Amino acid sequence: MSALKLYHASGSPNARRVRIFIAEKNLDIELVAVDLGTQQQFSDSYRAINPRSMVPALVLEDGTAISEVPAIWRYLEERYPAPALLGTTPEEKALVAMWERRAELDGFIPVMEAVRNSVPGLKGRALAGPHAYEQIPALAERSKARVAHFFADLDLRLADVVFVAGASFSAADITALAAVDFATRALNHAIGHSQHNLLRWYDAVCARPSATA
């Protein structure tokens, strides 16, 4: 086992993005649970690790704390390059970054936004982080419409390619999977029966051992 520690929460879709990445690389990294139910993310000890009070965060041997999913991914990819999940050539690296970001901006973030702006338990906490913001019901509705567009656009994309960023499984698939699963679980928005490309891709990524991470 490396001496790295990943602070996470089992129900956090962002933490799952890192756990799947770690599983794909077959790394042995200690998981430290942060209890969001008792708001442990706002404790002084966790705020010393991530002042934005969000999971996940990766703590290195020297105590350096890295938060934000793409930043943690970048560290792990640099330190453990194989198998590559962020691309290998300059062009591939850029295309994975592009498709992963589209999956995040058009899919993952709208799902999170719809949930945070509508769930009763998150009143006054419409954005994760240190500052408190009220929910905006109209935003939740707009986000749900965006999620529907995301599913349809991704289905079209997957008519042309095996995986989200092209021929190889990558971080873009991880973000898309986390978005689709959380939309299904928290918004009751599942893949449509006619979205055959998306269904084919979903079955393929769910068959990978990392999907249970």
Q: Which residues bind its own copies (CB under 8 A)?
A: 52, 60, 64, 66-68, 70-72, 74-75, 78-79, 90-91, 93-95, 97-98, 101-102, 106, 126-127, 129, 131, 133-134, 136, 138-139, 142, 145-146, 149
> In Å, how far from its chain's centre is CA 108?
7
Q: Which is nearer to its own copies, 42 or 133 (CB)?
A: 133
- Kindly state the DSSP code that residue 67 receives in the 8-state scheme: E
Burial class (CB in 10 A: 0-12, 13-18, 19+), 123: exposed
Q: Which is nearer to its own copies, 81 or 192 (CB)?
A: 81
The one-letter amino acid at 194:
S
Task: Write the DSSP string, 106-165.
Answer: IIIHHHHHHHHTT-GGGTT-SSSSSS-----HHHHHHHHHHHHHHHHHHHHHTTT-SBTT
Pick between residue 91 and residue 203 the one whose CB is nearest to its own copies.
91
In the complex, least distance from residue 77 CB atom to its own copies, rounded to whole angstroms: 9
Q: Nearest approach, Cβ of 116 to its own copies (angstroms)?
A: 12
Please identify, using beta-carbon distances, which residue of 129 and 209 lies nearer to its own copies. Answer: 129
User: What minimum distance in Å lies between the beta carbon of 203 and its own copies?
Assistant: 26
Nearer to its own copies, 121 or 137 (CB): 137
Q: How far is the CB of 45 from its own copies (least distance, A)?
A: 19
d(C-alpha 32, C-alpha 148), whole Å: 34
- Cα separation of the two ends of the chain: 17
